Chains A and B, each alone.
Chain A
Amino acid sequence: MTFNEQELVIGCQQRNRVAQKQLYDVFGGKLFAICLRYTKNRDDAEDVLQDAFIKIYENISTFRNDSPLEYWLRSIAVNTALNHLRQHKYLKQLDDIDTHENGLAGKDITLADFQWQQLLEFIKELPIGCQTIFNLYAIEGYQHNEIAQKLGISEGTSKSQYSRARTLLQEKLNKETRFDDGSVQTK
């Protein structure tokens, strides 16, 4: 039996296990990719994914068709990941950090040559604060004031952490690019 999206929601609201499984089958992969972005390893990502789906099933009765289902599911996954980070005190001390320019700010770096899995590895290598804020700002599209509110930090901290993340990522991308085409990056 397969459900369309609305039937899936209604089925999950009625705690129909088939519908719950199908929701998981349809969106589990996408949400797991989100969980991987916010954590450092697969085990943690799996924990977050489980928590997120339990939350989804418990709260799906509150879902209204005001927004697309996927957007609602993604936001739950992101919030669950942030809770996970808070619980493990990864976000305990996020301070303003000095950013240094690496001379790559003006350069056009294209991501087209990279698989998303490679990019994921770059993100996961970032310090946890930078990783979280980069995810929220660059990929989820939150503004710095929203991030500050979510994480209980100042807007300045969010900006400086993001700037640091961006610098580090540019360095990684540049490094990878240099190795690929053999050219030497000049500063």
Chain B
Amino acid sequence: MDPSKQNSFEEQWKKAFQDSTETPPLSAWKGIEARLDEEEKEKVIPLWWKTPRYWYAAASVAALLMVGIALWDGSYDVNNNKANSQIAATDKQLIDSQKAIIEEEKGVIQTEKQIGKTQILNSENAVSNVERRKELSEKDNDFISAGEKLAVQKPAFSESRNDVQPSAENNIAASSGFNKERKSLLASDLKKTDEIADLNNNPEKPFVMSNPDAASQILAEALTPIGYKDLDVYVQKRYVFFKPDAIASNKSPKKEKKKQEYWADVNVMPASFNPNINVVNAPSAYASANASRQSLSGSSRSGASYALQTQGAKRISKHWSVETGLNYLQGNSTYEGGGYLLNAVNSQSENVLQSALADKTASGSNASPNSPTTGGGAAYSASNTLYIDLNKEVINNYRFVQVPVQAGFTLNPDKKLSYSVVGGVITNFFINNEFESASGSIITSTPKDDVYRNLNYSATTGLRFNYKLSAKLKATLSGSYQRSLLSGFKTSESLESHPSLYGVAWGVRYSF
């Protein structure tokens, strides 16, 4: 057939179908979409054992452990070898070591006999081991005459090998000749000299060699260091391909989306705040009224609080970020218990917080007009007070400005839904505290009163979900916990406070 005509026939068909297009039925895309949805659902479920990342992490940890153990063992051996080297310094001990080697080699010969004709391979390996040790021992002639003993050992060994097949004998001879060559090489090799000393001083090694098991012997053989000239040299061939248009064509797919480096958050956080106030020592007025025990019985209860948070963050790597910001915290709580003191003379009452704070401010020098002292504490005379056992909740609210510094680790950072674990330290600037007196009036403490610590630190940790609304905007939902690291009071003997907070914050994030 004329090829031109044949081509013409195929070309015509090719041309006819070149731009052929047929609208697929609507059900086709629906089917595809359903399958894509199904796949995505499967992928969203965080099955950690199906995630290669965790396996890589586990493998890395295992590898580190193995390397660590190996290093630990290695360091142990090094020390051991050092000790052996010191021992090797004395000739007498060297000779003892040689004797030990000879003993072990006898063991090898015994083993060889047992193996006999059936395990020629094993015999050959053992023979080469003996030969090597012989060679190594000869190398040590400067120190001892134990080499002569090994020379004597050789004919004895040959005799014991009479029952071995001739091929094995040949191998022994070959091995002997080879070892003579190696000996001359080794004579100039300082490393080998060290190895000889090591071998001579370590009677365990020949013992290992004498294991009749073929696999063990092959392994031992493989682990025995050999001269660099015996190493196989592999040269890898390198092929260089040149594709002139590769650079141009590769440029466009590598044009990655610019990573967002900064973002700003605005959050509102309803929270549960508890100042955890404890009266640790009875206030003096309570002590005078014989109500020391009762004064310690009160406790704080958390109240509905909130925080307004603005934060800025910088992404420092794919997963890690650092965040800081400025928060306002309104921490509401109540205090219940401790009873009241009633002054019999002027009928003024005082609760335990008042009393304790009065003690505190009385010792201070710069009480302000609005300080807790004005609550009536100073008016109390110790002799005229009565204790009234009445439980009443009193308001105890705090305001702080907070400056958090946190580190965040984000999983799935570029996905629609990402998760961040955050943790760090918050610096709390005390603004004021309001608590309700026994009479119902509100007593306010400010930093000037010197009652509360003006600057306190809290540890914080939390989990945040980030949902990508658009390229720039994300919705965030975070749960966080804060706990003060120091007592909220300045050196107060009767009061202690470690505020804590649980909160759930909703917010939006704008990425730059």
A137–B32 touching, CB < 8 Å: no
B249 contacts A138, C-beta separation under 8 Å: no
Closest chain B CB from A34 CB (angstroms)? 8
The answer to the question of B242 belonging to the interface, with a C-beta cut-off of 8 Å to chain A, is no
A28 to B30, CA, bound (A): 13
| B-contact 0/1 string along A28-58, CB 8 Å cutoff | 1110110011000010001001100110010
Report the tally of A-B residue pairs with Cβ distances under 8 A.
Answer: 93
- Contact A24 B36, beta carbon cutoff 8 Å: no
Please name the residue on chain B nearest to A25 by beta carbon. Answer: B29
Contacts of B21 in A (CB 8 A): 29-30, 32-33
Contact of A65 with B by CB under 8 A: yes
Minimal beta-carbon separation of B451 from chain A (angstroms) = 57
Residues in A with CB closer than 8 Å to B9 are: 109, 138, 166
B interface majority secondary structure: helix
A184: Cβ under 8 A from any B Cβ:
no
Q: Inside 8 A of A49's CB, which chain B residues have their CB?
A: 24, 28
| Count of chain A residues with a beta carbon within 8 Å of a chain B beta carbon | 41
- B14→A46 contact, CB < 8 A: no
Q: How far is the CA of A70 from the CA of B39 in the complex (A)?
A: 25
Say whether B17 contacts A119, CB under 8 Å.
Answer: yes
Interface residue tally on B, bucketed by range: 20 to 34
B12: interface (CB < 8 Å): yes
Chain A residues in 8 Å Cβ range of B20: 30, 33, 116, 120
Q: Are A17 and B253 in contact (CB under 8 A)?
A: no
Q: Which residue of B lies closest to A27 (CB)?
A: B21
Please tell me if the beta carbons of A50 and B14 are within 8 angstroms of each other in the complex. no
User: Which residues does chain A contribute within 8 Å of B180, judged by CB atoms?
Assistant: none
Task: Tell me the B66-107 residues at the A interface (CB within 8 Å).
Answer: none
* B335 → chain A closest CB, angstroms: 55
Cα-based distance from A114 to B17 in the complex (angstroms): 11
B223 near A: Cβ within 8 Å?
no
Q: At the interface, yes or no: B27 with Cβ under 8 Å from chain A?
A: yes
Query: Is residue A66 within 8 Å, beta carbon to beta carbon, of the partner chain?
Result: yes
Task: Say yes or no: B36 contacts A111, CB within 8 Å.
Answer: no
Q: Quick check: is A20 within 8 A (CB to CB) of the other chain?
A: yes
Q: Which residues of A contact B12 (CB under 8 A)?
A: 110-112
Partner of A21, one of B1, B14, B29: B29
Bound CA span A106–B4, Å: 11
Question: Which residues of B come within 8 Å of A, CB atoms?
Answer: 1-2, 5, 8-10, 12-17, 19-25, 27-29, 31-33, 35-36, 40, 249-250, 252-253
Q: 16 extra interchain contacts, Cβ-Cβ under 8 A, other than A54-B32, A66-B249, A138-B9?
A: A6-B252, A10-B253, A29-B23, A30-B20, A32-B23, A36-B22, A42-B25, A46-B24, A46-B25, A49-B28, A50-B32, A64-B250, A64-B253, A65-B250, A65-B252, A111-B16
Seen from chain A, the residues whose Cβ lies within 8 Å of a Cβ on chain B are: 6, 9-10, 15, 17, 20-21, 24, 28-30, 32-33, 36-37, 42, 46, 49-50, 53-54, 57, 64-66, 105-106, 108-112, 114, 116, 119-120, 137-139, 141, 166
